[in-house]
Chain A
Amino acid sequence: MNPLFERIREALAAQAGDCSVAHGILVLQVAPGAVLEVARRLKDDFRFDMFADVTAVDWLGQEPRFEVVWHFYSTAHKLRVRMKARVAEADPTVASLTALYGSAHFMERECHEMYGIVFAGNGDLRPILLYEGFKGHPLRKDYPKELEQPLVPYREGFEMPGRE
C-alpha cells in the first residue's frame, strides 16, 4: 500500500476502520456522522485539495438503502481517495462539504435531486438538471424509467408513439 495511504489509514482509524485500496484508490467506509470530520482531515492534514465528485448508489432492498460516494484528489500527491457512507431511506442526511470546497455546491445539488440525499449545510438544494416542481428522484431504482413529467403539457389527443 502507498505510504500516504498507510498514514491516512492510521490517522483515520477511529472514523474509518474499514479501509482498502481498490484499483489504486483508497476507499474509506465512514459513518454518516463522520463525513465532515473525515473530509476536513483529508483536506487539511493530507492535502486532498480537490473535491472531484459526489454521487450515490441506490441499493434498493438493502438496509441502509443509500450509499453516498465522494471522490477526492490531491494535486500534490496525485492520488485519489474515495469516501463512502451508508444512509437510511428514512433519514438520508449527510453533512455538506460546501464549507470546505466550492465545487460541492453544484455537485451536491445534483446528487440531491437524483437520489434525494439531503446535504445538511448546503443552503441551496434547488433542482439543477431537472426543473422546479419535478416529483421524485429519477435515479432511484424504484423510479420507473418510462415515467414522464412534461413541464409543457402534450397537446390534447397526442399520444407518444410506441406507448400504451
Chain B
Amino acid sequence: MDLKLPNPVRPAFTRNERDDTTIVNIGPSHPATHGTIQIIAELDGERVLRADVHCGYLHRGFEKECEAHTWHNLIPYVDRLNYCSALINDFAYCAAVEALMDIEITPRARYLRTLLAEYSRVADHMTCIAAALMELGAMTAFLYMVTIRDYIYEHLADLTGARVTYSFGRIGGLARDLPDGWLKRLEEILVQSDDFLGRVHGLVDRNRIFIDRMRDVGRITTADAINYGYTGPILRSTGVPRDLRKDTPYLAYAELDFEVPTGIMGDNYDRYYVRMREIDESIHMIRQLVELLQDKGQGPIDVDDRRCVLPPKRLVYGEIESLINHFKLIMEGPQVPAGDVYVAHEGANGELGFYLVSTGGGMPYKVHCRAPSFVHMGGVHKMLEGYQLADIVPTFGSINMIGGECDR
C-alpha cells in the first residue's frame, strides 16, 4: 500500500522570512490544541513571528445533515456543537424556531431555560479554567474545578438523563419538568462551588508562576477584538461590557440583577478573571431564578400549541385526533412558516447565532450556526504573534475553543 498521503492543509507560508528562523507545525494531534487545531508557526528562537491557524479536523457536516432532519430531530446535533454547555445551544436553536413560528414560551419554561443556561455557563467556564490551569501544571486547581463540574453533570443527568449532551430543549418548551428535590440539590452544589472557587482563587490569583505565564501574555486590543468579531469573555476582557444578556435581553434576563464583568488589559489573566467573575454572576442569577420559579414560574412547561408540542400520551392513546397529531409531528415534523430568522444568544464563549431558513415544511431549508469559536480562530494569530512558543498553550486555553462548534 502506498503510504504517501496528501497533506490536508496548505500552509499560508512555506518560505522563511529570514534565514535564521524555523517553521514548525503544532497540532492537530497535540493535547493543548484539543486535538483539532493545527498551527503552522514561524519561530525566531522561541518567539512566534507569524502563525497560520487551521481548523476543520472535527468537521462532520452539521449544516448539511440538519437539512435532512425535521426541526425537532436535529436537536441532538445542535447539542454537539458546544458540548461543554450543550443546553445553551438547545435553547438558542429552539428560540430561533419559536421566533419563526411566533411562539412565546410559558413563564416556567422561560425561567427554567434561563436557569439551565446559567448553570451550563458555570460548567463551561469551569471546564475552560480547569483545562487552562492544568495545562500550566496546576493540577490541584484542575481537580477542584472538575469536581464541581462533575456534580453539575450528575445533577443535570438527574434532570435530563444524560451527562454531557442532553437534547433537553423542545420547540415550545422543554423535554420534562424538574424532578423532586432537584432545586434542593442545586443549592447544595452552589454552596460547595463557592467553597471550591474560593480555594482556586487562593491557589492561583496571586501565584507568581501563574501571573508570569498569564499577565501581559496573549494581549488583544478592543479595536482588534471587535474587528475580528470577538465576543463573549474575550471581548469583555478587553474592557467592553458587551453582553447580549444585557444588550438585547432574551429569556428572563431582563428580570435579573447581574453585572457584566470586564477586564482591563485583554490578556490571559483578564480572561481567567472575567470567567471567574462570570461564574459568580451566574450563581447569583441562578439563586434569583430559583425564587422566580417558585413565585412566578408555576404552571406548564410547554406552550399549548399543537403545531409543535406533542400531545399528552394519555390523549394519544385515547383519541384519534391526538394520535394523528402525534404521528404527523414525529413523521413530518412541526410545520414552520416560511421565512428566515437570525437569533443570537450569549453562549459561554461568545455570540452563538442561528440563522434558519424555512420554506414552510417540517424540515429546515437551511440551518446555519454562527459559532463563536470559529470566528475566534480567525483572529487568534493576533494573540500568538510576538509571544513565546510556550505561550501558545495558555493563550489557546484561555480562548476556550470548542472543536464541536468551531468545525461543525
Contacts and interface: CB of A to CB of B under 8 A. Distances in A.
B8 A110 contact: no
B227 A53 contact: no
A51 interface: yes
A52 B344 contact: yes
Contacts, number: 114
B181 interface: no
Given A75-B240, A145-B64, A22 B229 contact: no
A138 B355 CA distance: 18
- Among B10, B65, B226, B365: residue with most chain A CB under 10 A: B226
Contact of A138 (B64, B227, B242): B64
Contacts of B342: 23, 25, 53, 71, 80, 82
A103 B56 contact: no
A126 B64 contact: no
A124 interface: yes
Interface string B16-30: 000000000000000
A75 B235 CA distance: 11
A78 B379 CA distance: 22
Contacts of A139: 63-64
A113 to B, nearest CB: 9
A57 B355 CA distance: 10
A130 B378 contact: no
Interface stretch (B145-153, B288-296, B368-376): B368-376
Contact of A132 (B6, B99, B343, B370): B6
Given A71-B353, A101-B229, A131-B56, A22 B340 contact: yes
Interface residues of A, number: 41
B339 A50 contact: no
B226 A49 contact: yes
Contact of B227 (A55, A58, A82, A101): A101
B224 interface: yes
B12 A103 contact: no
A157 interface: no
Nearest to B227: A102
A43 B353 CA distance: 21
B7 interface: yes
Interface in A129-164: 129-133, 138-139, 143, 145, 151-152
B248 interface: yes
B357 interface: yes
B229 A78 contact: no
B65 A50 contact: no
Interface in B310-355: 339-344, 351, 353, 355
A79 B18 CA distance: 46
Contacts of A129: 55-56, 59, 407-408
A102 B228 contact: yes
Contact of A133 (B6, B240, B339): B6
A138 B10 CA distance: 20
Interface string A100-113: 01110111001000
B178 to A, nearest CB: 30
B307 interface: no
A128 interface: yes
B247 interface: yes
B364 to A, nearest CB: 11
A126 B226 CA distance: 24
Contacts of B340: 22, 57, 69
Contacts of B68: 145
B355 A53 contact: yes
Contacts of A49: 226-227
Contacts of A143: 64
B377 interface: yes
9 contacts: A22-B340, A23-B99, A55-B366, A57-B340, A78-B247, A102-B378, A103-B227, A103-B375, A106-B377
Given A23-B99, A101-B229, 15 more contacts: A22-B339, A23-B343, A52-B370, A57-B340, A57-B366, A71-B355, A71-B370, A80-B342, A103-B375, A103-B379, A126-B9, A131-B8, A131-B9, A138-B61, A145-B64
Interface of B: 5-10, 12, 54-56, 59, 61, 63-65, 67-68, 99, 224, 226-229, 231, 240, 242, 247-248, 339-344, 351, 353, 355, 357, 365-366, 368, 370, 374-375, 377-379, 407-408
